Amino acid sequence: MKNNKTREILFHIKDALRTTREIFDILPTYREMRRRVMGYMEIPKFDHKEWQWQEEQRFYALLSKLRKEGLVQKQRLNKESFWKITKKGLEKLSNISDGKSSLRDKNYSKEKSDNLNLVIFDIPEKLKYKRAWLRKQLKFLGFEMLQKSVWIGKFGIPKELIYDLKDLKMLPYLHIFKIYKKGSLMNIGD
């Protein structure tokens, strides 16, 4: 009987030890837990070769995409190969614009108007170069600044300017009003 009890106790201790060992295998060590809690994480090592390989893969994927779109082509010359931009690629390149290259000063035709025109705009900060361009064009057309984004004048807005504003995707930020009755703005444009 004594043997049975001893065997049963040892069996339970063995199970408890196995469970404890499994718990410690799952949990990080005390030192690792302390480091995590205290903020001492190991800095992962930077693998320059892996990074370089990934960058090369992105570059070749981009070249492949451009080739499929017909924007570039690969050519060989004396066992050397090189990439050349196609005519279609040149056209696309000339059309691609972050807005800055197409913001050339233009000589829009000035047209006197019997009524006052009020131009109000709220162009986002990230498009500030477009905002500066618009101010310059309004000044050239003879408009006067009431506030930095509010301009008034006895001049019409040329259709070419409207088309350019549409191409530059600026119309959502712009409002143009025609004022038929003068109020406190009587002296402007006279």
* Domain-wise residue ranges, the chain: 2-38, 48-95, 112-179
Mean pLDDT of the 176-185 span: 75
Q: What is the pLDDT of residues 25-69, one digit of tens each?
A: 666 666 676 666 666 656 667 788 888 898 889 888 888 888 898
Helix (H, G, I), strand (E, B) or coil at 156: coil
- 81: β partners: 76
The span from the CA of 152 to the CA of 36, in Å, is 63
Give this prediction's pTM. Answer: 0.45
| Residues in Cβ contact with 174 at an 8 Å cutoff, skipping those fewer than 6 apart | 119, 120, 121, 123, 134, 165
142 φψ region: left (φ > 0), alpha (ψ -120 to 50), beta (else): left
Distances (CA, A) of 176 to 103, 119, 156: 20, 5, 10
Asked whether the predicted pLDDT for residue 100 surpasses 60, the reply is no
Largest CA distance in the chain: 120
Mean predicted confidence (pLDDT) in 131-143: 91
Residue 103: pLDDT band by 50, 70, 90 thresholds? low
Look at residue 68 in the predicted model and tell me its pLDDT: 92
Quick check: helix, strand or coil at residue 43? coil
Fold category of 112-179 in CATH: Alpha-Beta Plaits (3.30.70)
Q: How many other CB atoms are found less than 10 A from the CB of residue 126?
A: 7
